[in-house]
A = this chain, B = another copy of it.
Amino acid sequence: IQVMETPGHPSVYADWLHADGAPAVLLYGHFDVQPVPDPAVWSSDPFQPDFRDGRVYARGSSDMKCQLLASLLAIEDLLAEDGRLPVNVRVLFEGEEETLSPNLRGLVSGMRDRLQADFAVTADGQQPVAGRPRIGVGSRGFCDLEVHVQTADGDLHSGTYGGTVRNAARTLGELIAGLYSADGRVAVDGFYDDVDVPSHEERVLLAGELEAAAAQGAVLGSTGEPGWSAWERATLRPSLEVNGLIGGYTGPGPMTVVPARALAKLSCRLVPDQDPDAVRRLVGDHLVRHAPPDVRVTVVRGGASVPAYRCRRDHPVVTAAASVLREMSSGEPELAISGGSLPVQAYLKAELGVSTITFGFSTDDEGAHGIDEFHRLESFTDARAAYRRLYAELGRAPVEEA
């Protein structure tokens, strides 16, 4: 077991490599959690696990401390019982997944030899509901940027200047509006150029669950590209979202300023074969090109560049995982593509040629990233048993070239 320092938070590496002749699995997880902006609105202290109603309530309980622990305890169970494992195991747990793993690619690249494996598995994935198994075989990529608008040295008095000068807040609004077409598409030139259009077969295979999820989020209205279902828009198609904006005076009462500065944080979810850096550049260039020439627009590169990821549906790791899930439940496991981003999948593929699936027993309703996050104790027990079976299956899995 070794702590691996990075320019940010450290990772932990460990291995057990005594299953001669058997394949090697890389087990990934993350021990960092989302922040809690306001602990007071939780029903119990988010940083003290509270056990009630067959659940544990705590920040990180669903995403993903319980699942990480279950995947580890399954190894302990096997070692205690058999004194050995059926598969070679390498473990990489990181502490920066919630900030989009800014140092993971460098770490993976520098540890090539020690991370060599035939497949990778992470419990960082959800099931739609408990007992309805899902294997994650893909995720969207990610890139982010900030746009800063400046129209004067400092805020100006709207009495003196109102109606005569550029207003940073207004210009930001106009720039944001200019990112989208009236029909709901992203209007950035070239945004869709490298998008790999999924086959009809893939679209049918991936019919999914988003409408139900939307109801959960109490979403008032929908938008997006015409010609694609909501679920397809969220997984097979790229998106550009404003994550936040701020400028001028936003406190109580009137303050009669013409704001000199405003900023917006933007990010894209990407699909194969979009390049995160190229898309970020397209968006930044679009903003600069569409700004009035007498306004200072600065685009600041975000920290994350994550390509989209796909795992072959007939890959041995998928077959092994599906076999375990089929035995443990009544139904056929769903092979799903996530609309979110799991940087480790893209980086292991790019740096090592290793394919990663998500094999997790948290569920969509457990409030990951939100208030009163919880995890079902039964799901924890299921995960521990399932991982034990999975290690055995993987020990027997055929090994193939990447």
Contact = CB atoms under 8 A, between A and B. Distances in A.
Interface of A: 99-100, 140, 142, 144, 150-154, 156-167, 169-170, 172-180, 210, 213-214, 217-225, 230-231, 233-234, 237-250, 253-259, 262-265, 267, 269, 292-296, 302-304, 338-341, 369-370
Contact of A164 (B164, B224, B248): B224
22 contacts: A152-B219, A153-B218, A154-B217, A156-B219, A157-B369, A158-B241, A158-B269, A159-B339, A160-B340, A163-B240, A164-B224, A164-B230, A165-B214, A169-B243, A169-B245, A173-B242, A173-B264, A223-B292, A243-B248, A243-B254, A245-B246, A248-B265
Nearest to A178: B177
A258 B242 CA distance: 7
B151 A264 contact: no
B158 A239 contact: yes
A168 B140 CA distance: 22
B255 A166 contact: no
Nearest to A264: B169
Given A219-B151, A222-B166, A242-B170, A159 B269 contact: yes
Nearest to A182: B174
A248 to B, nearest CB: 3
A256 B250 contact: no
Given A144-B254, A161-B219, A163-B240, 12 more contacts: A154-B217, A159-B340, A164-B210, A164-B231, A164-B234, A166-B221, A166-B223, A220-B296, A221-B294, A222-B294, A243-B249, A250-B263
Given A99-B254, A158-B241, A239-B158, A221 B173 contact: no
A176 B173 CA distance: 6
Contact of A241 (B150, B162, B176, B179): B162
B265 A339 contact: no
A243 B222 contact: no
B164 A233 contact: yes
A389 to B, nearest CB: 29
B157 A340 contact: yes
A117 to B, nearest CB: 26
A176 B165 contact: no
A163 to B, nearest CB: 3
A233 B163 contact: yes
What are the nearest 10 A-B pairs in CB distance?
A159-B340, A221-B294, A163-B239, A173-B176, A244-B248, A153-B218, A177-B177, A162-B239, A169-B242, A244-B249
Q: Tell which of A153, A154, A158, A179 has the most Cβ of chain B within 10 Å.
A: A158
